[in-house]
Amino acid sequence: MANLKAIRHRIKSVQSTQKITKAMKMVAAAKVRRAQARTLAARPFTKRVISLLKEIVHEVADVDLNEIALLKKRPINTVGLIVISSDRGLCGSYNSVVLRTALERIKNLQAQGKEVKLILVGLKAAGFFRSIKCEKLKNYTLLPAIPTVQEAKLIADQAAEFYINGQVDSVELISTEFINMLRSQVVNTKFLPVELPHSEDDNSLKPQTLFEPSINELLELELVPKYIENVIFQALLDASASELAARMNAMSSASTNANDLIQSLTLTYNRARQASITQELLEVVAGAEALKN
């Protein structure tokens, strides 16, 4: 009877867990649709910014480009690494894949004799790298569930400040790219100095195009800052959608596994109960036979 009681208790415990995983799956499924829509809606703007950069770079001399702080290249001795993770868990391998990729990149850079400094986004990254011997320049945790341009601007401006004042010689961004509900991939983006795309079309700008006050100022004060801000914003959107999709899939798998476990435990319970009843019947028959004799 004690064994039957333990099995009943375990079945109830798994059923309670299954209710939680089903609820989390439904919540993630509702949120991931909106996150996907936000991510896909932001991509055309990024493409347009890149298109403008292609057009303008074609009109600017290399000497002038080198005068812009975020475009200046120098020998790389220190690399800043922006790692974007989530604040919460229960999303399958989403965080572990990002953090493992970041750790491998750190080891590769250190093997090349470069110093690595970290800018961490999300509680999972902050917790994981707490024991790693790398300087942490900045931690961003408990950010709103829905990424905003303000957060992206804050992170981009801070990374740009570290680059301009010489604390780092380049900045890389490790995050996830949302592909669909079932798939996302970790990407390593060269963030700073900005790699300007070169136009392949010699006539990309029309003669009547005017820039005020000047092309250089437009690049330095508007387009380049807007570009790096949008790179971070797009990365945050992709990370949010990838996290929710991963959580939805993880909770779906957990619910399925819980159902399988409940069926297995129920079968075990029924067999144990049947064996217990059979044993009691045998004892009753044996007792009756003993009384006859």
Catalytic residues: 91
Asked whether 192 and 155 are in contact (CB, 8 A), the reply is no
Distance CA 161, CA 117 (A): 14
Q: Token pair of 164, please?
A: 């301009």
Which of 186, 293, 292 is CA-nearest to residue 242? 186
In one-letter notation, the amino acid at residue 93 is S
DSSP secondary structure letter of residue 209: -
Q: Is 191 helix (H, G, I), strand (E, B) or coil?
A: strand
In one-letter notation, the amino acid at residue 200 is E
Q: Token pair of 69, please?
A: 């702080």
Distance CA 293, CA 290 (A): 5
Asked whether 56 and 215 are in contact (CB, 8 A), the reply is yes
Which of 152, 91, 85, 81 is CA-nearest to residue 119? 81
